[in-house]
Structure 1
Amino acid sequence: MAISQRLQMRQGQSLVMTPQLQQAIKLLQLSNIELAEYVEAEIEKNPLITKSDGSEDAMPKTEASESTSASELDLGAGEAQNNLDAPKEDAYEADSPSEQIRSEAGSASLSGPSSSMDWSGTGKGGGSSFGDDYDFESNLCEEVTLRSHLEDQLKMSGISSVDQFVAQRLIDELDEVGYMRTDPTEIAQVLGTDVEHIERVLGVCQGFEPTGVFARSLEDCLILQLKEKNRFDPAMGAMIENLQLVAKGNLKALAEVCGVDREDLSEMLSELRALSPRPAAGYAGDAAPTVVPDVFVRELANGMFAVELNSDTLPKVLLDRSYYAEVSNVTRTEDEKEFVSECHASANWLIKSLDQRARTILKVSQEIIRQQDGFFVRGVQALRPLNLKAVADAVDMHESTISRVTSNKFMSTPRGVFELKYFFSASIPALRGGEAHSAEAVRYRIKSMIDDEAPDAVLSDDQIVERLRAHGIDIARRTVAKYRESLRIPSSVERRRALARSA
């Protein structure tokens, strides 16, 4: 068979992303802080873009009524309806010399290892994107913060997303030496859960490195380190309870309370000096940087929820039409005319992309409030199953758009500041065609059952399945076992043995 060359014509369809569409997508996935940096860079490159003083009217706020059914919720008449995928070209025309983007939405605010034996320094304390010009080498020697170190361990912990959020909140509460001073009761009230849940997650976090982090006090910090070395015994416990004698150097009294001789006491003091009273001392500062919310949610007196963008962090830019007209009149060469034309087109697209980004974030946030209204009323146990497709279908957008909107975006609510992705959870089907259940809510229910079990009636996984089915939750035994293990709860056999030993 002879091999030859020939020309053929083929007709096909392909999707080509224009530079303008690429810009809109890029802006959508940036956080507000990254967006501000991007806009500053564009202002430096484009002489037709200027900052706005923000004196223009803001976009209207929206309200969502509180209800057990998302379909019964009703947003206010000012809801933004512009779709990222279908901008209206004539929606941005203005008669004034300059073209103003109103991507802001109302004003809002947010009350937003050492071996030293110096125990006096352990007092209470407070708790960018990769662009084309990203300098990788300059970050090779970047100091590791305690926060980033703990977050890396949290991602590998294998605990549920709800527990991960609780752990993230505990990380935020750490002070500069690595202690967790906030009362767990306060955190439980904010998150709508019980103190036992917070204490359990705190116990998981206390297993992170460096040992001693998340301690509630100096004594707690030392005990965690001693237990990790398997050196915590009654004598060491007595020494920890009498640190004032250690500070005073009263060895005689210390030996008496510990019940040891001078030789053992000397060895115990050497072990104590090897511990770190400041777990965060070996890490860079800024262990808990402030998270700037992109959206504010406020509960109103009438049971409605007001949803608005954080206008303080949204860049406000103008296209200076008077300067554009002035420059256009003095251009002579084709290169000059092409440069001015490109600047004008780039400024227009930046303004439109910013407006579309703001409206899209607001629209998606409103839908999340619709779907998860129970969470804001009753707490984490009322979290509903929600995925990207459900929100995408509701707001008539693509799933990839919803994914970009919810990445690196935070929502300030009466229950705290949450990443938008937190509200998405897998679902467990219901029996008899009822409403599906959130996987996180089912985990919470399993833990509650085990917490409430009687010592003489420890629940097996099969019994938990039967109880869940009685509540209309269709779940398999292996799923119960998987959720129980993710909660770090022993099997029924291990729990019975533990109860027998304690008895």
Structure 2
Amino acid sequence: MAMSPKLEFRQSQSLVMTPQLMQAIKLLQLSNMELVAYVEAELERNPLLERITEGEGGDAGGDSNAEPERGEAPEPGGEPSASNDWTDNDAEPSRAAMETQLDTDLGNVFPDDAPAERGSVGAGSTGSSPSTGEWGGGERGEDYNPEAFLTAETTLADHLEAQLSVAVNDPMRRLIGVNIIGLVDEAGYFTGDVEQLAQQLGVTAAEVEDVLRLIQSFEPSGVCARNLAECLAIQLKERDRFDPAMQALVRNLELLARHDRNALKRVCAVDAEDLADMIGEIRRLDPKPGLAFGSGVVHPLVPDVYVRPGTDGTWLVELNSETLPRVLVNQTYHATVVKHARSPEEKSFLADCLQSASWLTRSLDQRARTILKVASEIVRQQDAFLLHGVRYLRPLNLRTVADAIGMHESTVSRVTSNKYISTPRGVVEMKFFFSSAISASGGGEAHSAEAVRHRIKSLIEAETADDVLSDDTLVQKLKEVGIDIARRTVAKYREGMNIPSSVQRRREKMSMRSEAI
């Protein structure tokens, strides 16, 4: 068979991931703090972007675009727009086609990927340390703020280093001490390795141990211990209560955790009354002495969506406008500077800035509308939970919500990641509303796994020392209210809530009752 070369034309369609499309996907799954940090970075990078300040009018920044084109987030309580028109007259036709399909075709891009883990964001934190100013000639700089010294929170490391500077004069021992303090976690425990630290500093392990024992004598009592037993032992030694019986008790903390008093009486060689006094002494100690000091800025939990009951019996779903960065494209400034652009590089830079700014405003607008649309459907599906509590939480999955609002389930997954809803039942993560189904006995409506966990916890909290419920008993009680569940599932849910077994709970309750007597 003879072979000869030939030319063929074939037409096919494919989804091309442009940087702009990747940006829009990324914005969907960012938390409110991460979004603020991202927009702040874009404001610094792009001269055509401008922040909309509080009370600024529609013509702020000289933007000539219409209101939707300004990229402003919809006002709280507004209905999600049915339009997905993200087209731009200056953009290429292929991009417009992708923009139109963004809500429905994300599964073709990343069909199996999981939502991104929520990461830490450095931007937005409000440090309390004073700014550096000019101190030459006895004059303070413009940024000098004396109140910052008064409001600065003392950390555990600062507290230990202050004591180290007084207790140690030798430079080498002080260097060892500073490195040890750097390996102390927020709870006050030394997390390093003595041998490794000695090798790193070029000293002997005995020298490191000596400085470590010195720091363990600092305040707060019990600091710089390597484990719980050592932490308790340090505090007991300072109280002159570390006798042989107490040493045996500290060496057998696992028996204390299991409330096995008979075994403790044998290993400590004491009677029940002495053992009760020793346990009381242990309970008055601080297992995490470092937590008494500040460890950094704690960011409050800010909801992305508010849900409150309306006057007509429905639920009002509103976006939290305070978490939505509001930016616009300054068309007036662009029109001014583009006239003075001479080189092709300058013109290309301004064109890229305009395109990037326009895309960001539209992405923010679409992100807000998508969050509102998903939140409204979740509220519709979980109406019983909002009215009556967690026992009435319905089983729900991403596909159910996605089909109801005409989006791909991967889009819903991204939208619900790192987002919180303020409800009459408290502030909860959007992912909380999605749980697997537990079948009902008798063929009734299935139960949410979260609702079943709540029932198990409620039954255990109501038990007494004479009537501790085993896992088999819990299965029977759940079947009586129409929940068909296996014993291993009950055990898994109980362990997931850090609830001990029935044997351990009985020991604990009997111990508490004997102490009360």
Cα deviations by residue, 1:135-182 (Å, 9 ceiling, x for unpaired): xxxxxx9999759x9xxxxxxxxxxxxxxxxxxxxxxxxxxx99xxxx
Query: Is 1:278 equivalent to 2:293 in the alignment?
Result: no
- Post-superposition shift, 1:21? 0.8
Name the counterpart of 1:15: 15
Q: Give the Cα separation in 2 of the matches to 1:211 and 1:365.
A: 45
Amino acid at match of 2:381: Q
1:350 positional shift:
0.8
1:143 to 1:61, Cα distance in 2 relative to 1, 3 A: farther
Q: Determine the C-alpha separation between the residues in 2 that align with 1:455 and 1:386.
A: 37
TM-score (norm 2): 0.54
Moved more, 389-398 or 375-384: 375-384
Counterpart in 2 of 1:482? 492
Match of 1:89 in 2: 87
Q: Distance in 1 between matches of 2:316 and 2:182?
A: 41
Residue 348 of structure 2 is aligned to residue 350 of structure 1: no
1:164 is matched with none
- What secondary structure sits across from 2:322 in the alignment? coil
- 1:308-457 equivalence runs, <5 A: 308-431=318-441, 433-451=443-461
Q: Which residue of 1 aligns with 2:47?
A: 47
Root-mean-square deviation (CA, aligned residues, Å) is 4.8
Q: Secondary structure at the match of 1:297?
A: strand
* Structure 1 position 396, deviation (Å): 1.5
- Residues of 2 paired with 1:421 and 1:144: CA distance? 34
- The residue number in structure 1 matching 2:135 is none
Counterpart contact for 1:411–1:419, Cα < 8 Å? yes
Q: CA deviation at 1:436?
A: 1.9
Contact 1:82 1:359 in 2 (8 A): no
**Residues 264-321 of structure 1: CA deviation (Å, up to 9, x unaligned):** xxxxxxxx7xx6683415x751374322322222344554433222222321111111
Cα separation, 2, equivalents of 1:413 and 1:311: 16
Q: What amino acid sits opposite 2:323 in the alignment? A: T
Amino acid at match of 2:372: L
CA distance 1:373–1:465, shift in 2 (3 Å): same
The aligned residue for residue 74 of structure 2 is 59
Q: How does 1:200-349 map to 2 (within 5 A)?
A: 230=252, 233-236=275-278, 278-281=289-292, 285-286=295-296, 288-300=298-310, 302-349=312-359
CA distance 1:405–1:429, change in 2 (3 Å): same
Q: Distance in 2 between matches of 1:312 and 1:36?
A: 10
Contact 1:145 1:287 in 2 (8 A): no
Where 1:385 maps in the other structure, the secondary structure is coil
Please give the alpha-carbon distance, in whole angstroms, between the structure 1 residues aligned to 2:182 and 2:389: 39
* SS of corresponding position for 2:321: coil
Counterparts of 2:361 and 2:445, CA distance in 1:
42
Question: Could you say which residue in structure 2 is the equivalent of 1:33?
Answer: 33
Determine what percentage of the aligned residue pairs are the same residue: 52
Q: Which runs of 5+ in 1 are unaligned?
A: 63-77, 93-112, 115-140, 150-176, 179-208, 213-217, 244-271
User: What is the rounded CA distance, in whole Å, between the counterparts of 1:308 and 1:210 in structure 2?
Assistant: 48
The whole-number CA distance in structure 2 between the counterparts of 1:455 and 1:143 is 43
**Distance across 2 between alignment mates of 1:433 and 1:238:** 52
SS of the counterpart of 2:407?
coil
Q: TM-score, normalised by structure 1?
A: 0.55
5 Å-filtered alignment, 1:118-197, equals 146=186
Question: Does structure 2 conserve the Cα–Cα contact (< 8 Å) formed by 1:386 and 1:423?
Answer: yes
Contact preservation (8 Å) 1:46, 1:343: yes
The amino acid across from 2:276 in the alignment is P
* Compared CA separation, residues 447 and 8, structure 1 to 2 (3 A): same
Pairwise CA distance, 1:25? 0.8
Q: Relative to 1, partners in 2 of residues 1:329 and 1:498: Cα closer, same or farther, differing over 3 Å?
A: closer
1:144·1:284 contact (CA, 8 Å) conserved in 2?
no
Distance in 1 (CA, whole Å) between partners of 2:26 and 2:394 is 30
- What SS is found at the alignment partner of 1:89? coil
**CA-to-aligned-CA distance 1:185-207 (integer Å, 9 cap, x gap):** xxxxxxxxxxxxxxxxxxxxxxx
What are the ranges of 5 or more consecutive residues in structure 2 without an aligned counterpart?
59-72, 91-154, 157-180, 190-218, 221-225, 230-234, 240-245, 257-274
CA distance in 1, matches of 2:450, 2:386: 15
- Preserved CA contact (<8 Å) 2:402 2:412: yes
Amino acid at match of 2:484: D
Deviations 1:44-103 (CA, angstroms, capped at 9, x unpaired): 2222111112435883543xxxxxxxxxxxxxxx411357xx4343799xxxxxxxxxxx
CA distance in 1, matches of 2:509, 2:421: 43
- Across the two proteins, how many residue pairs are aligned to each other? 341
The residue type paired with residue 280 of structure 1 is: L
Distance 1:296 1:22 in 2: 28
42-51 vs 459-468, which moves further: 459-468
Q: For 1:17, what is the secondary structure of its paired residue?
A: coil
Moved more, 37-46 or 353-362: 37-46
CA contact (8 A) 2:303 2:421 kept: yes
Q: 1:331 to 1:366 in 2, by over 3 A?
A: same
Aligned letter for 2:52? S
Q: Which residue of 1 aligns with 2:137?
A: none
The 3-state SS of whatever aligns with 1:306 is strand
| Secondary structure of 1:35's aligned partner | helix
Q: Tell me: CA distance 1:144–1:498, structure 2 relative to 1, closer, same or farther (3 Å).
A: closer
Q: Could you say if the C-alpha distance between residues 22 and 367 of structure 1 is closer, same or farther in structure 2, counting changes exceeding 3 Å?
A: same
* Residue 465 to residue 230, structure 1, CA distance change in 2 (3 Å): closer
Q: Is the 8 A contact 1:60 1:79 kept in 2?
A: no
- Partners of 2:316 and 2:354 lie apart in 1 by 36
Q: Does the 8 A contact of 2:385 with 2:392 survive in 1? A: yes
Structure 1 match to 2:143 = none
Q: CA deviation at 1:326?
A: 2.1
In 1, Cα distance between the equivalents of 2:343 and 2:89?
32
Cα 1:91–1:360, aligned 2, differ >3 Å: closer, same or farther? farther
Residues 317 and 143 of structure 1, relative CA distance in 2, 3 Å threshold: farther
Name the aligned partner's letter for residue 475 of structure 1: I
Partner secondary structure for residue 43 of structure 2 = helix
Greater Cα radius of gyration, structure 1 or 2:
2
